[in-house]
Amino acid sequence: MSFTVLIPARLASSRLPNKPLADIGGVPMVVRVAQRIQSGKGAVASARIVVAADSPEIILACEAHGIEAVLTRPDHPSGSDRLAEACTLLGLRDHEIVVNVQGDEPLIDPALVDAVADLLGRHAHASMSTAAHAINNVAEFVNPNVVKVVLDASQMALYFSRAPISWWRDGFAQGITTLPEPRPLRHIGIYGYRVGFLRLFPQLPQAPIEVTEALEQLRAMWHGHRIAVHVTEHAPGPGVDTPEDLARVRKLLGA
């Protein structure tokens, strides 16, 4: 199955200015992400990988390392808007599949990208796909910055939340000192889309639950679209949001 990997990248970042161009062993971070995906096996090895940039600086950095990139508008309100424009610039057709990999994930597992694309290809009734893994500690379960997801019997998302879900009946009486069984799932922020839906998504009105939870994927579910979820045994490598994150990733990569 063929698919396209889109990596949105914008220079503006409050916590780490010019983040896509942050140096990791002599290579800009967004290029590192693309190279990491290129190193994979299976269908991902032949996937088209494109950086959707908001500035000529990112385009030039990608071109210098042989990475395809397209220049999108700098004023997009969300990453999905940027991806939709990129699909149009690339001439992708509505039935094709794209996988959105964030440009600050230089440790992304290529096999995860492959799995998310494959899952959407096998579920014709789903508009999107994503990934999750089992939570192993209480601190993550109660952390509102860790998004949780609950699935149905066919591995479709029932709900995403910043709250600790699923919640067992006597949880309040016990206090949150243990995890419920089966283990709750942590959402991983990687998405597969059908191109036709990706073009539609930015036009959909915001959902009340989306506003409450500050989770954009709930807009898709509120409007009746299904999201297939690949459950992996492995937690993803750390992303980069702050200078401290960047230092940690440099150390992990020996850069």
CB-hemisphere CA count at 13 Å for 109? 14
Residue range 185-197: mean pLDDT, rounded: 96
Residue-averaged pLDDT of the chain:
92
* Cβ atoms within 10 Å, residue 233: 6
- Residue type for position 108: I
Question: Could you tell me if residue 81 is left (phi over 0), alpha (psi between -120 and 50 degrees) or otherwise beta?
Answer: alpha
Q: Please report which confidence band the pLDDT of residue 177 belongs to, taking 50, 70 and 90 as the band edges.
A: confident
Whether the pLDDT of residue 150 is over 90: the answer is yes
Cβ atoms 132, 229 nearer than 8 A: yes
The continuous run of DSSP H or E covering 250 comes out as: helix 243-252
Domains contained in the chain, CATH given: 4-252 (3.90.550.10)
Tens of pLDDT, residue by residue over 44-79, are 888 999 999 999 999 999 999 999 999 999 888 888
User: Which residue has better confidence, 177 or 112?
Assistant: 112
Query: What is the token pair recorded at 130?
Result: 């994503």
Q: Please report which confidence band the pLDDT of residue 12 belongs to, taking 50, 70 and 90 as the band edges.
A: confident
User: Which residue has better confidence, 241 or 64?
Assistant: 64
Q: Please report which confidence band the pLDDT of residue 171 belongs to, taking 50, 70 and 90 as the band edges.
A: low
By the 10 Å C-beta count (0-12 exposed, 13-18 middle, 19+ buried), 112 is classed as: buried
Query: How far is 127 from 97, CA to CA, in rounded Å?
Result: 10
Determine which of 154-168, 170-184, 217-231 has the lowest per-residue pLDDT on average: 170-184
Whether the pLDDT of residue 97 is over 90: the answer is yes
End-to-end CA distance of the chain: 34
Residue 172 has a pLDDT of 63
Residue 173 has a pLDDT of 65
Residue range 149-159: mean pLDDT, rounded: 97
Three-state helix/strand/coil letters over 14-66: CCCCCHHHCEECCEEHHHHHHHHHHCCCHHHHHCEEEEEECCHHHHHHHHHCC
Residue 4 has a pLDDT of 96
Residue 146 has a pLDDT of 94
User: Which residue has better confidence, 13 or 87?
Assistant: 87
Identify any residues that bridge with 23 across adjacent strands, giving them in sequence order.
28
Residue 181 has a pLDDT of 86
**Strand 128-134 relative to strand 157-161: parallel, antiparallel, unpaired?**
unpaired
In percent, the amount of the chain with pLDDT more than 90 equals 75
Query: How far is 181 from 156, CA to CA, in rounded Å?
Result: 19
Whether the pLDDT of residue 174 is over 70: the answer is no
Residue 159 has a pLDDT of 98
Query: How far is 251 from 164, CA to CA, in rounded Å?
Result: 32
- Residue type for position 145: N
